[in-house]
Structure 1
Amino acid sequence: MILTKARVFKFKSIDDSSDVSIDRNVTILVGQNESGKTAFLQALHKSVSVESGVSFNITEDYPRKDLNQYQREHANNPAVVTELTYTLTDQEISEINTDLGFNLLESLSFTHKYRYDGGKTITLSVPEKSYVSHLIEHAKVTTETKEAIKNAGTIRELTQILEGLDLNNEEQEFLDSTKTRFVENENWHSVLTYYIWKQHLEPNIPEFLYFDDYRVLPGKINLLELQRRIEASESNPDALKDEDKTALSLLKMAGVEIDDLNNSEGYEDIKAKLEAISNSITDKVFQYWRQNQELDVEFDIRTDPKDHPPYNNGNNLYIRIKNRRHRVTVPFNQRSKGFIWFFSFIVWFDSIKEQLGTKKDIILLLDEPGLSLHALAQADFLRYIDDLTENHQIIYTTHSPFMVPSNRLYQVRMVEDKQKEGTKITSNLSSSDPKTLFPLQAALGYTIAQNLFISKKNLLVEGPADLVFLKFFSTLLESKNRTHLSSEITVIPTGGLDKLATFIALLGGNELELVVLHDYNSKPDARLESLIKDKIISSKYILNYASFRNLKSKNTSLLSSDVEDMLSPKLYLSLFNSAYSKELNGIQITEDELPEGERIVDRLNRYLKSKGLVLRPSGGFNHYFVANHLASKPSALGRIDSQTLDRFEFLFQKVNELLDE
């Protein structure tokens, strides 16, 4: 049975959440702090909680601004808090049809409303007439009786007609068996609907479990005290604390009962049990925790009369984490908060249904899970969440971009606390507040950044114009069977030299092969020099255009150079004149007209200024516009001189060589 839609009314900050579509696997509620995410989860939890003693409380839960008025109405007109819609699975539909002996249903959904006083209302409809026709068709009755009942549309009508007839034994048996099976309930409009509800739906409605940061595993467990609280919980469920339940989950996960540890005889027996627990838990937890794979979980049992109560009485079970690299063990509770939380979460949810003593499906409500986890550990956690969906629907809240899988944004619901409306939840991202959208934008930006690096070999350049020129001339050289840029290399524009240095610093340790190609302005860039000094990147992987500009010159001094200077001045000017032909109104700029200088872009900018030619409001011209003109109209270049091709070929040879080492 799948929860497909939920709506919350008059609960804390929520007046009316509006209909919230629930994904069959994972639903992610994204919103700012105090937007109402937790309130939504708690309302669901209190509707059908797997835990005893959880119910609505009008003083705590009803919106305070309307509480006084509602308290006067509550006794006579208790308000609806939640409206939950469920859809049956194909297997459940098949089970109902098999039970009825007739393919009555192809699909079925129903809505369950929960009120503040604990009352419930079910909205459910089934095509009863077709089933009644089936019953009549297969009933062992006389022709006269069949004629009398042929127009009955419901089981109630059928039995009422039969009760008014003079029946033979077989007909009376048919009536009695029908009334016995389909029990009357005056609160239900349909006897068949009530039957399906009682037999197939109500017993299988999923229960909710709300989880936050409090169920963490203790570092040591006094076995006698735990045994005492287990026995006490048989009459008082509150005797077991959350940490006790997590400890029992740990033993369940390892396939060991507490009696096995309390009643073990001899060192070898208990040592074998402890090693079995260690191996089992280590394999399970570190299947998901990828942040440090050189850890093992170790367990030990011993007494400690000098410890404080209750640990000074009887055996204590100690949980320790061994670091194989440093060859030391430390108590579990001395590990990082993130590791403790991650470990405890996996332990608790590995056998959640068994621990809670239910056979019903459980919908997990996770409130801000993984807050203490590093971004990469949150990715580990999401992998575990995906595995949990094999057995549970999951709804969780977050404002971390790393808890939002950007390839599954359809699972995201935006939560906003709107002026005069209260909390609203929607899947319409376009209508959401920018502050609410920020985690999604950050997640999407992170994914875009990751996907830029589609190969291990990357050539970092400053801007999009570099990308266009390099791609164009690589393709041209390839068509001439000359050396071109390897297809394994991805060219990545970073947005300028300042950002280029940041890219190197951030990505240098990600096992990516990087070569940097940048503009040169009279002297080495201090930011790049600092990265070389700090050994973040080797100097041989940093190239500049000036190094490839004067291939045949004996002069080794470098000229200030941009990517545009890889083209001969005549060639670049022909491209420039074509790109801006409309704005130049037929003017053809030649190299002889330009002022002296090393960089063609700088010379053009000074020329335009001296002639009063305005190609854009901010002055100068758009370098990318010229490059893009080449990409869209390559014929604008005309005949390409051999020196230009030689420069690009030599550049590509060098880049390929560096990234082939």
Structure 2
Amino acid sequence: MKLVSATVGPFRSINSSQVVEIDRDVTVLVGMNEAGKTVFLKALHKAQDALGLEKFNPTDDYPRKDYTSYMKRHQEAPETAVALIYQLDDKEVDEINARFNTSIEKGFKFSVSFLYNNTKNITLTVDQAPVISAMALTSGLSTDAAAAIKKATSLRSVVEELSDIDYTDADGEFLNGLKARIEKTSWENVVQYEVWTYVSKLLPKFLYFSDYDLLPGKLNLKDLATRVANAKADPHNALKQVQPKHQAVLALLRMAEVDIDDFSGSSGYEELKAKVEAVSISLTDQVLEFWKQNEDLEVEVDIRSDVTDEAPFNDGPNLYLRIKNRRHRGVTTPFDQRSRGFIWFFSFLVWFDSVQQQLDPAGTPLHKQLILLLDEPGLALHALAQADFLRYIDALADDHQVIYTTHSPFMVHSNRLHQVRVVEDKAAIGTVISDNISGSDARTIFPLQAALGWNLAQNLFITTRNLLVEGPSELAYLQTVSALVQADGGNGLPDNITIVPVGGLNNVATFVSLLGANGLELAVLHDYSGKPEQKLDGLIQQRLLAQKSVFNASQFRDLENLGHNSVPSDIEDLFDVALYLDYFNKVYAKALGDTPILESDLPEGDRIVHRIERALITKKINVRPTGGFNHYAVAAAFSTSPPEHLSEETLTRFSALFKAISSAV
């Protein structure tokens, strides 16, 4: 089962409901500080906390500007804080159909809404007709009973139909069983209740983790035992007694199968320390599978008393965590004074494994029910170490959906922008969450731009084959269409060719010089104005570029004359006019209002982008203050939400382009 959508709000800074599509593997929330990323995670966590500790509280959670008016109706009509939509996998669908004789289809979805009074509303639709049909075939039933069952429209009406016949002992036994089944629920649709009862046990629950849950360097165990006892005596104030750092140490002790009472009982020092050290060694090994910055680190655990320390550490045994660095002859330092990135890794593994044990004391794989909510993970890591952490997240995603927040460009896969959700705090509106990257504030999407820039910079001098293009629009179109061509069974652009936007033809000479000096193979794809480009001709004459490696968009526009210059063309002219207009109208829907640009509105001309700009002038429409329109905004929309299919003509044009580039480089 997967979470496919979450609707959050009103909740804290989220004033109006925000519908967020959740990726089946990893969802990344990108936004500035205080935009509301953590608020979204907290809402999910309160809805389905893995440990069952979290509750919605209108005083803390309802947007303050509307709190007073809401509380007047809270008792009678509590609002929804979070609504989650889940999708069953094919195996689960088959199991339900086999168990209940239903006929639900593959991809079955249902929703669970969580209200501010901490109750749930279930929206789940199951047709009872197949179940009733299967009932009529029950072995041993009389002909009259089978006929009566077939007349029913629901399980409840089956009882009514059977009451009108003279039934046999077998019929009576069947009827009694059905009545007992119906009495278990007040739901009108009994089958829906039964299916819900089944799937509710499979619902993934949320595990939230942030920097506040880190293990401390030392903790007094007597004080911890007192806090745990006070929390049990006063559950309403438990969180005040047992804080995140205490929870983290309890998690470590639980993993080592050490009870807090053992420290005042008969268990010896060596036995206790051996158990805790064994777990620490195991977890250190797990961390080092992904921690490649310094593989000479390990965690040491000690349990001892120190009457000379300050309170409360001078009363009873203390648990000490230290990091040993073998690279520096085994020097140890307190756990909380060393690399915060290593501390985060280790603390998360302790907490994560502990929660799994609490959910699953018998050892069965119930841990697959977790969805991990990671708040600013890897924030303290070096930029290259964050790449290691992304590998760790991918490993987690093999078994668990992961939702994490970040504003670091190094915590975003530039080739997985479909996983990104942009979070913005808008004046008078509050937190807004969207997958529309092109329509977001420049400051918000800066990490995404930086991620793309870093990806280009990282690959620029380490790939043998490079295709220079004028700007990021070409990059977006070529990568996306290449994937579509391959999906259609054709040959896209080879993976070993790096597309490098150079920022216009004026920069081509610089890039050719830089790349050529490294002995790399180059090709150039540029827009065609209708006449030769002197800068490119000069590079060819200087033998910095080969003539066969220079291409322009017009050479792949005319299907009857592929490979030869035709009319002035941009890469946008390789698409059908209707398709490009569709994306343009979607991107600028707000500015265009009820007057989208139609193909009939376009003046005569060769280049679609120029024709649209002239149409905007004619219709006196401004989609941006400087005039014209942002070509990249349309390209970004195409890249993030590509069409399912391209026309044969478009596929032919791009296939010819990819073939020519592959041959030249």
Q: Does 2:206 correspond to 1:208? A: yes
Deviations 1:311-339 (A, max 9, x none): 22333232221111221111212213333
Unpaired segments of 5 or more residues in structure 1?
465-487, 504-514, 519-540, 544-578, 584-614, 635-661
Q: How far did residue 452 of structure 1 move?
A: 2.4
Deviations 1:205-253 (A, max 9, x none): 3322333221111112333443444455544452433222211322444
Deviations 1:321-369 (A, max 9, x none): 1111221111212213333233322222233222467957232222222
2-structure distance, mates of 1:235, 1:159: 50
Name the counterpart of 2:655. Answer: none
1-structure distance, mates of 2:231, 2:119: 29
Cα contact 1:104–1:130 (8 A) shared by 2: no
Name the counterpart of 2:319. Answer: 317
2-structure distance, mates of 1:28, 1:182: 44
1-structure distance, mates of 2:529, 2:113: 67
2-structure distance, mates of 1:581, 1:41: 54
Q: Which amino acid aligns with 1:138?
A: T
Deviations 1:524-563 (A, max 9, x none): xxxxxxxxxxxxxxxxx9x9xxxxxxxxxxxxxxxxxxxx
Q: Residue 50 and residue 428 in structure 1: after superposition, are their counterparts in 2 closer, same or farther (change >3 A)?
A: same
Tell me whether 99-108 or 216-225 shows the greater mean CA deviation: 99-108
Name the counterpart of 1:408. Answer: 416
Cα contact 2:132–2:149 (8 A) shared by 1: no
Q: How far did residue 278 of structure 1 move?
A: 4.6
SS of equivalent residue, structure 2 residue 72: helix
Q: Residue 97 and residue 72 in structure 1: after superposition, are their counterparts in 2 closer, same or farther (change >3 A)?
A: same
Name the counterpart of 1:131. Answer: 131
2-structure distance, mates of 1:167, 1:347: 62
Q: Which amino acid aligns with 1:300?
A: D
SS of equivalent residue, structure 1 residue 289: coil
Cα contact 2:93–2:108 (8 A) shared by 1: yes
Q: Which amino acid aligns with 1:410?
A: H
Output aligned runs, 1:195-594, within 5 Å. Answer: 195-198=194-197, 200-236=198-234, 238=238, 239-253=241-255, 272-273=274-275, 276-327=278-329, 328-355=331-358, 361-454=369-462
Q: Residue 423 and residue 334 in structure 1: after superposition, are their counterparts in 2 closer, same or farther (change >3 A)?
A: closer
Per the normalisation by structure 2, the TM-score is 0.66
Deviations 1:395-418 (A, max 9, x none): 111111111122322211112234
Q: Which amino acid aligns with 2:322?
A: R
1-structure distance, mates of 2:10, 2:550: 62
Q: How far did residue 286 of structure 1 move?
A: 1.8
2-structure distance, mates of 1:633, 1:333: 57
Q: How far did residue 177 of structure 1 move?
A: 0.8
2-structure distance, mates of 1:141, 1:339: 67
**Aligned-residue CA RMSD (Å):** 4.1
SS of equivalent residue, structure 2 residue 15: strand
1-structure distance, mates of 2:311, 2:37: 40
Cα contact 1:453–1:490 (8 A) shared by 2: no
Deviations 1:189-212 (A, max 9, x none): 3111112212x1233333223332
1-structure distance, mates of 2:349, 2:11: 31
Cα contact 1:155–1:191 (8 A) shared by 2: yes
Name the counterpart of 2:562. Answer: none
Q: Which amino acid aligns with 2:47?
A: S
SS of equivalent residue, structure 1 residue 312: coil
Q: Residue 373 and residue 216 in structure 1: after superposition, are their counterparts in 2 closer, same or farther (change >3 A)?
A: same
SS of equivalent residue, structure 2 residue 179: helix
Name the counterpart of 1:60. Answer: 60
Q: Residue 133 and residue 402 in structure 1: after superposition, are their counterparts in 2 closer, same or farther (change >3 A)?
A: same
Cα contact 2:422–2:440 (8 A) shared by 1: yes
Q: How far did residue 108 of structure 1 move?
A: 2.5
Cα contact 2:156–2:182 (8 A) shared by 1: no
2-structure distance, mates of 1:81, 1:275: 43
Cα contact 1:454–1:490 (8 A) shared by 2: no
SS of equivalent residue, structure 2 residue 50: coil
Q: Residue 458 and residue 99 in structure 1: after superposition, are their counterparts in 2 closer, same or farther (change >3 A)?
A: closer
SS of equivalent residue, structure 1 residue 42: helix
Name the counterpart of 1:595. Answer: none
Cα contact 1:7–1:19 (8 A) shared by 2: yes
SS of equivalent residue, structure 2 residue 151: coil
Q: Residue 252 and residue 55 in structure 1: after superposition, are their counterparts in 2 closer, same or farther (change >3 A)?
A: closer
Name the counterpart of 2:109. Answer: 109
Deviations 1:286-313 (A, max 9, x none): 2222211122222223221211233223
Tell me whether 350-359 or 175-184 shows the greater mean CA deviation: 350-359
Name the counterpart of 2:26. Answer: 26
Cα contact 2:375–2:405 (8 A) shared by 1: yes
2-structure distance, mates of 1:179, 1:216: 53
1-structure distance, mates of 2:255, 2:205: 22
Q: Does 2:638 correspond to 1:630? A: no
1-structure distance, mates of 2:371, 2:458: 33
Q: Which amino acid aligns with 2:379?
A: L
2-structure distance, mates of 1:144, 1:123: 35
Q: Residue 624 and residue 320 in structure 1: after superposition, are their counterparts in 2 closer, same or farther (change >3 A)?
A: same
1-structure distance, mates of 2:217, 2:192: 52
Name the counterpart of 1:193. Answer: 192
2-structure distance, mates of 1:314, 1:9: 47
Q: Which amino acid aligns with 1:130?
A: P
Deviations 1:554-584 (A, max 9, x none): xxxxxxxxxxxxxxxxxxxxxxxxx99968x
Cα contact 2:151–2:161 (8 A) shared by 1: no
1-structure distance, mates of 2:497, 2:359: 54
SS of equivalent residue, structure 1 residue 309: coil
| Count of residues in correspondence between the two structures | 501
2-structure distance, mates of 1:214, 1:167: 66
1-structure distance, mates of 2:437, 2:226: 52
Q: How far did residue 17 of structure 1 move?
A: 4.0
Q: Residue 166 and residue 337 in structure 1: after superposition, are their counterparts in 2 closer, same or farther (change >3 A)?
A: same
2-structure distance, mates of 1:424, 1:493: 31
Name the counterpart of 1:50. Answer: 50
2-structure distance, mates of 1:369, 1:161: 60
SS of equivalent residue, structure 1 residue 193: helix
2-structure distance, mates of 1:491, 1:25: 27
Q: Residue 265 and residue 196 in structure 1: after superposition, are their counterparts in 2 closer, same or farther (change >3 A)?
A: closer
Q: Residue 418 and residue 300 in structure 1: after superposition, are their counterparts in 2 closer, same or farther (change >3 A)?
A: closer
1-structure distance, mates of 2:207, 2:389: 18
Unpaired segments of 5 or more residues in structure 2?
472-495, 520-527, 552-665
